[in-house]
Structure 1
Amino acid sequence: MALLCVDYPDPPMDLEVSDPDKRSIRLTWIPGDEHNSPVTEFLVQFEEDRWEPGQWQNLSSYPRDLNSVILPLSPFVNYQFRVIAINSVGKSRPSRPSQRYQTSGASPDAIPSGLKGWGTKNTNMEISWEPLLNTEQNGPNLHYSVWWRRKDTGEEWNNVTTVGAKHIVHDTETYVPYEIKLQARNDFGPGPESNIIIGYSGEDKPTAPPTDLHVSILTAPRSTSTGPR
């Protein structure tokens, strides 16, 4: 009886990029030897040289019968790609990287998450949010526009632009509700505005003791019982 030796697949070869578009590109490769264990999927990874150079990240997985795929991309990223073949034994070594492809920039698509407002003192309100990921920035000079106004007053919006992920509103009244909204922007323009959320300025201790206290004394009702005479 002959023994069938199986092994990790060889890495894919001859990566080629084509059909470039603003948000996508076609990647094609030649599969390597499967070594008697059929490849089940291909893992495409990317590396970009602006924020995390040299760090490879997973992009997409594809079934074994595909070796030419359209990759979804983010704007303003200088990509290169590599492919890993996977079979029942495990993963191949990564392929040689493709040539680089730089996507063009655009205004942000994403709305920063985690927007909230709360008082850290009785005379302020701190507005904060989660900053966009590097690959969500879509262009240079990312910054945030923040708006706030007291709720149900009809007053005009206050506005500030910042590169950080928080803004402190000073000299507020104590524990007042505010409407707050947020927008990311870059050199290509503004992104979508967030929904309006409600935040509150800081609380304080009571300034006066309670007044007009009344004390009532409650007495339990008497109960009587009568027995046979």
Structure 2
Amino acid sequence: MSFDSRSVVLSWTPPPRDNNAPITHFSIQILEGEHSDWSRYQSISTQNSDLKYKVPNLKPFTVYSYRVVAINRMGASEPSEPSYLMMTARELPSGKVRISEAYSGKPDSIFVSWDPITQEKIHGEFLGYRVFWKAREEDGELSRQADIKNPNQTKISLSNLRPYTAYVISIQVLNPLGAGPSNTVLVTTKQGVPSTPANLSVTSVSQTDISLSWYKPEHSNGKIIGYRIYYNHGRDAEIYTVNTSSDYNIYNISHLMPFTRYEITVAAITASLEGQRSQPLQIMTDVAGPG
């Protein structure tokens, strides 16, 4: 008996007597499973009286046993004794893992869960699930991976991710020959807190006005929709909101008091979060002219 992952070649000896009616062909009874009952067999007929036949269309990594029935013009013989149990060879897994959930609950993490893969799609011993993930925009970035060897574990939380970043996540099942086809999803992490606006500086100062300029934060961690400008002198404080998503920004604070020290900070804002405030600028408006 020789076999591969999808077929087996059987050979046998003819019955001792044919009762003067030559054997025309054979029927091969095929039983799948180690503990199956022979009432559930399937059969296939050979085309001639050869004593060898290749049984096709078997399943990989599956236990089978066989019986042979000789047939002549008078009818069929009793089945032979069952063959010993044999298992077809392994193949690479053919089934894709079905991802049931994939979402970002926090700016630095993504939760993924999947349905258990069925044994008939693994085609070998189950060695685990392999999860890959990487940021979509960084083609040169190496993927991170986690191997999950427990067949009952069908979820994972990916951590230490970048906020507001699209991640490509793939899952494969493993057997001793390697990995099966991957199933892939794209998930964007939630928006996080923007870093401070970059290069905040004063462009001009007058008796009643202070002009500022700045660039968007180095790490936006979300979609910037504007900025909040905080300025105060003594116990008096004011807040301006500037609605802009520009990379470079200029803003003029007016109606200030002459010869007064103001402390100014700026913070970026997203739809739901305010970012870190810049280091405060201490600025004195000009002295008012006579009269």
Share of identical aligned residues, percent? Answer: 9
**Preserved CA contact (<8 Å) 2:93 2:181:** no
How has the CA–CA distance of structure 1 residues 151 and 54 changed in structure 2, closer, same or farther, with 3 Å as cutoff? farther
- The equivalent of 1:21 in structure 2 is 2
Give the Cα separation in 1 of the matches to 2:94 and 2:104. 27
Q: Unpaired runs of 5+ in structure 2?
A: 106-110, 191-224, 226-242, 244-291
**Preserved CA contact (<8 Å) 2:126 2:174:** yes
CA-atom RMSD in angstroms? 4.9
Q: Unpaired runs of 5+ in structure 1?
A: 1-19, 205-209, 213-229
- The equivalent of 1:95 in structure 2 is 79
Larger strand share, 1 or 2: 2
- The equivalent of 1:109 in structure 2 is 91
Name the aligned partner's letter for residue 99 of structure 2.
G
* Equivalences, count: 172
Using the size of structure 1 for normalisation, the TM-score is: 0.50
How far apart are 1:113 and its partner, in Å? 0.8
SS at match of 1:133: helix
How has the CA–CA distance of structure 1 residues 178 and 195 changed in structure 2, closer, same or farther, with 3 Å as cutoff? same
> Residue deviations 1:130-152, cap 9 Å, x none?
32329932xxx532231220342
SS at match of 1:184: strand
Give the Cα separation in 2 of the matches to 1:96 and 1:43. 10
Counterpart selection for 2:36 from 27, 49, 53: 53
How has the CA–CA distance of structure 1 residues 42 and 21 changed in structure 2, closer, same or farther, with 3 Å as cutoff? closer
From the CA coordinates, give the structure whose radius of gyration is larger: 2
Counterpart selection for 1:193 from 152, 171, 179: 179
Q: Greater relative contact order (Cα 8 A, min sep 6): structure 1 or 2?
A: 1
Using the size of structure 2 for normalisation, the TM-score is: 0.42
Give the Cα separation in 2 of the matches to 1:59 and 1:165. 36
Name the aligned partner's letter for residue 21 of structure 1.
S
Q: Where does 1:2-151 land on structure 2 (aligned, <5 Å)?
A: 20-21=1-2, 23=4, 24-28=8-12, 30=14, 42-49=27-34, 52-54=35-37, 56-58=40-42, 60-71=44-55, 79-83=64-68, 95-102=79-86, 108-119=90-101, 122-123=104-105, 124-128=111-115, 130-133=117-120, 136-137=123-124, 142-151=126-135
1:164 aligns with 2:154: no
**Preserved CA contact (<8 Å) 1:40 1:63:** yes
